[in-house]
Amino acid sequence: MRWMQKTAVAATIAAFGVSGSYAQTPSGEPIKVGILHSLSGTMAISETTLKDAMLMLIDEQNKKGGVLGRPLEAVVVDPASDWPLFAEKARELISQNDVAAVFGCWTSVSRKSVLPVFKELNSILFYPVQYEGEESERNVFYTGAAPNQQAIPAVDYLMNEGVERWVLEGTDYVYPRTTNKVLEQYLKDKGVAAEDIIVNYTPFGFSDWQTEVSRIKEFGSAGKKTAVVSTVNGDANVPFYKELANQGVAATDIPVVAFSVGEEELAGIDTAPLVGHLAAWNYFQSVDTPENADFIAKWHAFIGNEDRVTNDPMEAHYIGFNMWVKAVEKAGTTDADAVIDALPGIEQANLTGGMSKMLPNHHITKPVLIGEINDEGQFDVVSETEDLVPGDAWSDFLPESKKLEADWVELKCGNYDTEAKKCLGDAATSN
């Protein structure tokens, strides 16, 4: 970390040396940017940090001269972990506040809630969180991981570690159910017997994990190496991990690999009993690159607290926001149609090394990392893909999806049926 801090200071000084000479103070009517993240309710534990990250990115961009010479202005709303309220607040941002783009949502149910609004009002949503795939919308840019950029590589890693029995544990909504549908089929295709897979769902905010963890322990006592693939979301993760520790479920016995637990979620709990459990993301704060060191230093300076962590969805907003800025500058306007057309092909350096690219299917290329929880509440990277992985909108492991292709550049379609040679329109995006 000392090396990272020194590198960050040097990079920051160099940046100010350049921008101080050439950046002009933005002027004129502000370009409004919508921030649609839960600041209260069950998802506030994860989403509040994303609001703060967006405020930092907007502040940094204004220091560079804004966009098109105009200042950016953040418009923050609180959908309060209430899925219908997300749609209402999205409409408010677009119709009343006249934002040029919106950065927001965490859960897939919140994203599904706002999709009709963005289509009707022809605005742009940047969605920064891993999700279940099976979707590609013209008005949405997916900067989080698709299943082939997180879930599938995590299962492959565990298989290589000798895991034979699988607990697919999730919160009861669209992301875990669809992801587990993909994973269950993938596991069976790999030769895993049906009796070696169990799937379970609990409600948002679930706290009484004693019975569920006991069931996991019993399932793992059959003599085959067992792992939990967790799509548990939000504040339910805190009592889940506490109960794992209470019942002595160690990573050496039954490892848990999580898709929705990062540095922010671990900040509120004693991580000592969780050492060795895993998470699959495309970024960890512990990644040792100059770009990441600079980002962390700016985050700590902006937030005024060196204990505040960074995480994967923050990096996704960093990538998406900078891609949006480049697309607006390329188009010379904030007009939604022009920016949507300009975004495919835009590249942006990610924080783990390499250039992420916006693809014609509105997903991006990302590295895939597996990390082990350490006793400092951070992750030690134990596996990383050699190359950046292109995000798949439609899973190759579901028969109904394998034939579908998303391409908003040539095909102008999010769900083109390659067998029937036609665009299915909204028919295949209602998962």
CA distances to 173, 199, 297, 321 from 252, in Å: 30, 22, 35, 39
On the question of pLDDT at 331 being above 50, the answer is yes
Relative to beta strand 369-373, strand 278-281 is: antiparallel
Q: Tens of pLDDT along 289-311? A: 999 999 999 999 999 999 999 99
> 267 pLDDT band (50/70/90 cuts)?
confident
For residue 257, the one-letter residue type is: V
- CATH (one of 3.40.50.2300, 3.10.310.10, 1.10.10.10, 2.60.40.10) for 148-281: 3.40.50.2300
- Give how far the C-alpha of residue 352 lies from the chain's centroid of Cα atoms, to the nearest Å: 15
How does pLDDT run across 66-114, given as a tens digit for each residue?
999 999 999 999 999 999 999 999 999 999 999 999 999 999 999 999 9
Q: Which residues of 202-214 are buried (b: 16+ CB within 10 A; e: fewer)?
A: bebebeebeebbe
Mean pLDDT of 240-262: 92
| Ranges for all domains in the chain classified under CATH 3.40.50.2300 | 2-145+289-366, 148-281
- What superfamily in CATH does domain 2-145+289-366 come from? Response regulator (3.40.50.2300)
